[in-house]
């Protein structure tokens, strides 16, 4: 037996032409019914897949040093010039310390504990306003630590942006009075 060679392009084109003429088309109603079984995907801008891939997660306050009872006057302890907060969200903890700077203003320093990832910390005014309190951004170091100096008093929103997630912390009162 001799092996059959695949037909040439011309032979295949001739067979396709004959089949097209010999076989009737489906009725238009059947064609429309078949096409209606599949819904066309909406047209989205090129940047949409990236935005859709990011998930927004809300963090929960787990610890606030200002929630502890105030210590007696004159004793060493947590002063009104510092605050320690701990937030949790889906396997990550954000440890945040707020301290007064000697020249005025506040310093926000912390560490992201959880999966080894790179990311950014974004600080925005809670009221969404720009002005003197425009958005600030800093990268996490290899240990997940970050620091933002010269932060003005007021309500701020802090968020962690990783490759596939945005972890939003509740609004933080920086430099406010400690409630008794």
| DSSP character string of 132-171 | GG--EEEE--TTSEEEEEEEPSEEEEEEEE-SSEEEEPPP
Residue 85 has pLDDT above 80, yes or no: yes
How many helices and strands (H and E) does the chain possess?
Answer: 3, 11
pLDDT of residue 15: 86
Residue carrying structure tokens 């937030």: 87
Residue carrying structure tokens 């005014």: 125
Tens of pLDDT, residue by residue over 96-154, are 999 999 988 999 999 999 887 789 999 999 887 654 457 899 999 999 999 999 999 99
Highest mean pLDDT out of 20-29, 36-45, 67-76, 99-108: 99-108
With contact defined as beta carbons under 8 Å apart, do 114 and 94 qualify?
no
Position with higher pLDDT, 141 vs 53? 141
Q: What is the mean pLDDT of the chain?
A: 82
Listed range (10-19, 49-58, 114-123) with the worst mean pLDDT: 49-58
The pTM is what? 0.63
d(C-alpha 111, C-alpha 60), whole Å: 16
pLDDT of residue 167: 92
Bridge partners of residue 23, in order along the sequence: none
CA distance to 20, 28, 29, per residue, from 24 (Å): 8, 12, 14
Strands (E), the chain: 55-58, 60-64, 82-89, 92-100, 106-113, 120-125, 136-139, 145-151, 154-161, 165-168, 172-174
């Amino acid at each position: 037996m001799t092996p059959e060679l695949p037909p040439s392009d011309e032979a295949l084109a001739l067979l396709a032409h004959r089949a097209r003429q010999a076989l009737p088309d489906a009725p238009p109603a059947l064609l429309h019914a078949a096409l209606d079984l599949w819904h066309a995907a909406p047209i989205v801008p090129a940047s949409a897949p990236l935005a859709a891939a990011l998930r927004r997660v809300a963090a929960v306050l787990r610890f606030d040093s200002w929630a502890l009872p105030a210590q007696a006057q004159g004793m060493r302890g947590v002063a009104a010039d510092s605050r320690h907060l701990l937030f949790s969200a889906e396997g990550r903890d954000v440890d945040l310390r707020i301290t007064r700077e000697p020249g005025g203003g506040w310093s926000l320093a912390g560490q992201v504990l959880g999966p080894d990832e790179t990311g950014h910390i974004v600080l925005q005014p809670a009221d969404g306003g720009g002005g003197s309190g425009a958005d600030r951004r800093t990268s996490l170091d290899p240990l997940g630590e970050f620091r933002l100096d010269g932060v003005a008093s007021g309500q701020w929103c802090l968020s962690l942006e990783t490759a596939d997630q945005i972890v939003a912390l509740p609004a933080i009162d920086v430099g406010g009075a400690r409630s008794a």
